[in-house]
Amino acid sequence: MKKLALTAAFCLAIAILFASLACEGDQGPQGPQGPSGEPGEDAVLTPPRDRVFALAIFNGTARDHNGINAATLTFDTTATPSSSVVVGNKVDRVPIIDGVFDGADVWGENSSNLELEHQAFADNFIYDVTVIASYDDHNMYFMVQWSEVNQGDYVVGMNDRHLDWSYDDVEEEFFVNDLYEDRVALMFQDSRSLIEDWKLYGCLTGCHTGEGLPDNMQSASPSIIIDTWEWGAMRSENLDIGLDRALTSAGFVQDGGVPPFRQNSEIIQRLVDNEIVDDTVPIYIHVKQLSDPEYVPDDILWEYLAVPFTDTVSWTANSYISGWYAMPPSTGNDILKSAGQFSEGTWTVEFSRPRITEDPYDVQF
């Protein structure tokens, strides 16, 4: 009996299979396309999340800087700007990054006057800075504005040259200018465990942990990565592109590809008094410096009219060779837009960068 039941069940399954195959016919032609739907809307990103950031201002020196160890950047519209809190503005108009502040109509109403303190090496006496942070669906924008002071070794003025060579036709030799550029750095760290230490110690936790070592700029551990946006009065102004790099436990990591500028120097060996010595010389020289008495050192096309430097050339009297030269950057090194203007003792510096990038070291907004 059991065998007959199994046989009947098997036959029933076969019958159902053949019936289903018999019922399925050839597929008919595709029908006409239906009407178009309503137009879609562009994707809208939510406001960025709150974070802690640091800021450092340099006045014509490479290492001396004042700043704030930990300011809070919040996008809570009910928050109040203060000396340590920056409240982000949602904007409809795109700010032009040119170092000229376009006002609250473009940047938004929230503005913070941050209190700075001496951070590292010599005090440059800059104790306050105005910061505005704004965003739209695509980009983050920052405006940083500060005034220089005449105090100590510092004088009010624009420092936009560094490591260039000036020619003295009297002594028939050239001299290297060791003055540095005016600059500002924004530092965003993304390690939540570091927040409290960063609030207390700032750069000593994340930047100068390696003082005394050959590479003295590094983070305290492999888990600490600091995304750094930097504007310099000399380097950034070549192409209105800032220096975007990350500070890791191994030192600074440049975004991949060709950066927007190169240092115009190399070390060669000379024979002096029967002894081989190292000498730092330019790589390139402006072609007009070889013969044109009307040569203008600040030729905007300097980087396009440069020729290889040799130590046998004669320069035009009282000219100089730029210590840096611009390079068309590759993708990844051209997304941090930055420009500054100096007027009546005050720097206005502006940044913009896409909120979302492909670089693993970039802070995402």
Q: Between the ranges 3-12, 63-72, 94-103, 118-127, where is the mean pLDDT highest?
A: 94-103
Cβ-based burial of 255 (10 A; exposed 0-12, middle 13-18, buried ≥19): buried
The percent of residues in the chain predicted with pLDDT above 90, rounded, is 36
Q: Does pLDDT of 231 surpass 50? A: yes
In the chain the first and final C-alpha atoms are separated, in Å, by 74
Distance, C-alpha 336 to centroid of its chain: 5
Q: What is the pLDDT of residue 331?
A: 66
The DSSP annotation for 114-128 comes to EEPEEEESS-----E
Q: Does pLDDT of 216 surpass 50? A: yes
Q: Mean of the per-residue pLDDT values for the chain?
A: 80
Among residues 176, 172, 95, which one has the least CA distance to residue 141? Answer: 95
pTM > 0.85: no
Rounded Cα gap, residues 304 and 315, in angstroms: 18
**Phi first, then psi: what are they for 290, rounded to 5°?**
-85, -25
**Phi first, then psi: what are they for 6, rounded to 5°?**
-65, -40
Q: What is the pLDDT of residue 253?
A: 76
Q: What is the pLDDT of residue 193?
A: 56
Question: Which tens digits make up the pLDDT trace of 129-152?
Answer: 999 999 999 999 999 999 999 998
Average pLDDT over residues 163-182: 70
* Contact between residue 207 and residue 70 where contact means Cβ atoms under 8 Å apart: no
Q: Does pLDDT of 75 surpass 90? A: yes
Q: Does pLDDT of 18 surpass 50? A: no
Instruction: Name the residue with higher pLDDT: 181 or 199.
Output: 181
Q: Between the ranges 126-140, 190-204, 260-274, 310-324, where is the mean pLDDT highest?
A: 126-140
Query: Tell me, what amino acid is at 355?
Result: R
The position carrying tokens 């053949």 is 18
Among residues 102, 124, 121, which one has the least CA distance to residue 111? Answer: 102
Q: Does pLDDT of 73 surpass 50? A: yes
Instruction: Name the residue with higher pLDDT: 320 or 365.
Output: 365
Instruction: Name the residue with higher pLDDT: 200 or 269.
Output: 269
Q: Between the ranges 18-32, 106-120, 195-209, 325-339, where is the mean pLDDT highest?
A: 106-120
* Contact between residue 283 and residue 243 where contact means Cβ atoms under 8 Å apart: no
Question: Which tens digits make up the pLDDT trace of 336-358?
Answer: 999 999 999 999 999 999 999 98
Q: For residue 91, what are the contacts with CB-CB under 8 A and spacing of at least 6?
A: 106, 107, 108, 134, 135, 136, 141
Question: Which tens digits make up the pLDDT trace of 95-118?
Answer: 999 999 999 999 999 999 999 998
Q: Does pLDDT of 201 surpass 70? A: no
Whether domain 51-162+180-257+329-354 has CATH 2.60.40: yes
Phi-psi region of 190 (alpha: psi -120 to 50; beta: other; left: phi over 0): alpha
Delimit the domains of the chain by residue range. Answer: 51-162+180-257+329-354
Among residues 114, 103, 110, 104, which one has the least CA distance to residue 47? Answer: 110
Distances (CA, A) of 256 to 214, 229, 263, 337: 23, 15, 18, 17
Tokens of 240: 């209105």
Q: Does pLDDT of 171 surpass 50? A: yes
Determine how many CB atoms are found less than 10 A away from the CB of residue 295: 17
Confidence of residue 170 (pLDDT cuts 50, 70, 90): low
* β 261-263/324-326 pair status: antiparallel
Question: Which tens digits make up the pLDDT trace of 297-337?
Answer: 555 556 677 788 877 777 776 677 878 877 777 766 789 99
* Contact between residue 88 and residue 133 where contact means Cβ atoms under 8 Å apart: yes
Tokens of 241: 């592109």
